[in-house]
Chain A
Amino acid sequence: MKHIFKIVAVLVAISAVWIALLETSTVPRSYTWLVSVADFSLLPIYLIVALGCYGLFMVGFGLMFFPTCPQEAILLQKDIAEAKEFLAKNGVDLGSE
């Protein structure tokens, strides 16, 4: 199944739950079986706010604990020096960088 269909299915499921909640508690039964457009249109707003919070939290968390490795840069310089020395000793022409 294409991944976009999975996402659409999740959105449809959330909409269904939302409508069910509106039907059972918010909207008076005698009024109509249809939920009002105004009530339903709150769902996308809540969804966007929730996804935004989730995204900001995940990016912020990732930045706070971003793994860095300054010691690796030093080790790499040592390895490069070692390799250059070996190659020069064995007559490999390294040319210009």
Chain B
Amino acid sequence: MEASAGRKRAYSIIVPTYNERLNVALIVYLIFKHLPNWKPSGTAYLHGLKYASGEFVVIMDGDLSHHPKYLPGFIRKQKETGADIVTGTRYVKNGGVHGWNLMRKLTSRGANVLAQTLLQPGASDLTGSFRLYKRDILEDLISSCVSKGYVFQMEMIVRATRKSYHIEEVPITFVDRVFGTSKLGGSEIVGYLKGLVYLLLTT
């Protein structure tokens, strides 16, 4: 996509979606707006990693809570640092969240303090899923992770830290568009705590 030291660097963007036809159209438009040189290779973003041909893979949510305008920042950060993983973080200066009530913020902070204290995970936003990976590193991590949902994102970054992969962070904002659906119920909290114990025992 972009020339670098005489060779092209290819980036694949994977956007998991759940029948969000309109959102896919919107996101593709916004990706083109912010990465004008991007050449979509078929339907890679729909079918996942085995169709992603790039040397780097970006994974982002398909409901526009992750804005494509941050993509150039991820790419720049990776180029500058040579990082294996660039992860978007909401919990730093210039990052942020919109659309969460006090209870949601409290759960989020509590979960984060617990994980930071017990696991020393090596990143400030463990459950965010807006990340850029070197392709081979993503494949390695996926093959060694077993969790689902929120815990999967945490397991990916904890295992990456334990394997001494180079992780860098960029601030992102997160606009929660499906207000209400990201409320955390009791079962999510229990699942999270189980995941925490699992990671304590296995990493």
- The reply to whether chain A is a binding partner of chain B is yes
Q: Which of A2, A67, A87 contacts B90 (CB 8 A)?
A: A67
Main SS class of interface, B: helix
Q: Which of B29, B92, B113 contacts A58 (CB 8 A)?
A: B113
When the two chains form their complex, are residues A68 and B113 in contact, meaning their CB atoms are under 8 A apart?
no
A29 to chain B minimum Cβ distance, whole angstroms, is 37
When the two chains form their complex, are residues B199 and A67 in contact, meaning their CB atoms are under 8 A apart?
no
**Whose C-beta in chain A lies nearest to the C-beta of B199?**
A3
Number of A positions contacting B (CB below 8 A) = 29
Complex interface: chain A residues within 8 A of B22 (CB): 94-95, 97
When the two chains form their complex, are residues B110 and A59 in contact, meaning their CB atoms are under 8 A apart?
yes
Q: Which of A51, A63, A68 contacts B109 (CB 8 A)?
A: A63
A86 at the interface (CB under 8 A from B): yes
Complex interface: chain A residues within 8 A of B69 (CB): 79
A4 at the interface (CB under 8 A from B): yes
A55 at the interface (CB under 8 A from B): yes
Complex interface: chain B residues within 8 A of A94 (CB): 21-22, 25
Complex interface: chain B residues within 8 A of A38 (CB): none
Q: Which of B90, B95, B99 contacts A73 (CB 8 A)?
A: B99
- Fill in one digit per residue for A64-96: 1 if any B CB lies within 8 Å of its CB, else 0: 001111101100100110011011000010110
Number of B positions contacting A (CB below 8 A) = 39
* A79-B30, A79-B67, A97-B22 given; A63·B106 CB < 8 A: yes
Complex interface: chain A residues within 8 A of B29 (CB): 83, 86-87
A-B contact count (CB 8 A): 89
Once bound together, how far apart are the Cα atoms of A86 and B30, in whole Å? 11
Complex interface: chain B residues within 8 A of A2 (CB): 200-203
**Whose C-beta in chain B lies nearest to the C-beta of A68?**
B96
B138 at the interface (CB under 8 A from A): no
Once bound together, how far apart are the Cα atoms of A92 and B21, in whole Å? 11
A7 to chain B minimum Cβ distance, whole angstroms, is 7
* A3-B199, A62-B112 given; A87·B25 CB < 8 A: yes
When the two chains form their complex, are residues A59 and B109 in contact, meaning their CB atoms are under 8 A apart?
yes
A32 to chain B minimum Cβ distance, whole angstroms, is 36
When the two chains form their complex, are residues A73 and B119 in contact, meaning their CB atoms are under 8 A apart?
no
Q: Which of B97, B105, B203 contacts A69 (CB 8 A)?
A: B97
When the two chains form their complex, are residues B175 and A73 in contact, meaning their CB atoms are under 8 A apart?
yes
Complex interface: chain B residues within 8 A of A68 (CB): 96-98
Please name 22 pairs of A and B residues whose Cβ atoms are closer than 8 Å in the assembled complex, sorted by A: A2-B200, A2-B202, A3-B199, A55-B113, A55-B117, A58-B117, A59-B110, A59-B113, A62-B112, A63-B106, A63-B109, A66-B97, A67-B93, A68-B97, A68-B98, A69-B175, A72-B67, A72-B98, A72-B175, A83-B26, A87-B25, A92-B25
Chain A positions within 8 Å of B, measured between CB atoms, are 2-4, 7, 51, 54-55, 58-59, 62-63, 66-70, 72-73, 76, 79-80, 83-84, 86-87, 92, 94-95, 97
